[in-house]
Amino acid sequence: MDAEFNGTYITLGGYVDVDKYGYVYFAILLTIYILILCTNCTIMCLICIHRNLHEPMYIFIAALSLNSVLFSTVLYPKLFIDVLSQKQIIPYSTCMFQFLVFYVFGSSDILLLSAMSYDRYVSICKPLHYPTIMGTRKVIVLLTVAWLLPFCQFSVSIVIMANHKLCHLTLEGFFCNNSVYKLHCMTSPILNVWGLVSLVNLCLIPFLFIIFTYVKIFIITYHSCLDVRKKAAETCIPHLMVLFSSYCLGFFDIIMARKESDFPKIVRLVMTLQIVVYNPLFNPIVYGVKMKEIKNYIKRLFSCPENKII
């Protein structure tokens, strides 16, 4: 199977009129990629430079931005090549790498958002114990789990898929997500069970944990003064917005893979594009606009020299 794994090419059939609009696609994707790099790198640099942002909440935000940069840097160069090529193909081994990157960073985002909800819970519900509970060691552990657990889980999926024979060589998409399961000659009970385990570990349990923390936060803030409510809203609303978008896009991904034949090709293209564009671009904008400390530093960064002197 190794020879087949390394030598098989998959046709990416999700593009629409790429022969006519290839340069338009390229210009749009390049603009989006540059915006993703600029916005996320700005957030990361501000958090690294300013010592008062060296807090768990901001560290998790920087980790989300790092995920977006790495994810986009792996995915977008291949998209650039595809929209300028006559044939949109990808080696099966590279396809598996795309699959791994897509779900590792996507799941890592969910776990980081869970860590952020825990951080907000401790900050609001146990403020006196916050420095002790959310120490440096705890943050390092949470970051490690957020990156290592998805990598381990989806690496097992890659190993399982590498031992399955392919009967279909056309993927109805423009990158490799869970639609690759449809390339196999037969469904794998082991792969289905392992996929369900991964879904529970990386999506359902974090989701239930986030609900638990926010119920606790809501109860505490409801019985607190107005200042506490405002402070909680400043940090929790951006987190909830990013969380909502992440789960919605994950739901889109599942629906598109399961029901892709029910959608016109152009609809599949637009919806799939949102998956690879929306979160990497949306997250830093939300945190840059809604997080007061980050917003202030961004204003200073882009303010005119005359205004700084005054």
pLDDT in tens, 151-180: 999 999 898 888 778 888 888 778 888 888
- Would the pLDDT of 129 be above 80? yes
pLDDT band of residue 310 (cuts 50, 70, 90) is: very low
Contact call for residues 277 and 220 (beta carbons, < 8 A): no
pLDDT at 301: 74
Instruction: Tell me how far apart the alpha carbons of residues 185 and 164 are, in angstroms, rounded to a whole number.
Output: 8
182 vs 40: CA distance, rounded Å? 34
Tell me the CB-side half-sphere exposure of residue 231, using CA atoms within 13 A.
14
Predicted local confidence at residue 258, as pLDDT: 64
Q: Hey, how many other C-beta atoms are within 10 angstroms of the C-beta on 83?
A: 22
Is 120 within 8 Å of 213 (Cβ atoms)?
Answer: yes
**pLDDT in the model for residue 37:** 93
Q: CA 9, CA 261: separation in Å to the nearest integer?
A: 22
Q: Which range, 12-16, 213-217, 227-231, has the best average confidence (pLDDT)?
A: 213-217
Most confident of 30-34, 181-185, 282-286: 30-34
Rounded CA separation 284/288 (Å)? 6
What one-letter code names the amino acid at 48? Answer: C
Sorted by where each begins, the domain ranges of the chain are 2-309
Between 141 and 300, the higher pLDDT residue: 141
Burial (0-12, 13-18, 19+ Cβ within 10 Å), 280:
buried
HSE value, Cβ hemisphere, 13 Å, CA-based, for 297: 17
Please check whether the domain covering 2-309 is classified as CATH 1.20.1070.10: yes
Q: Which of 23, 42, 6 is nearest to 284 (CA)?
A: 42
Q: Give the model's pLDDT for residue 149.
A: 94
Radius of gyration (Cα) for the chain, nearest Å? 21
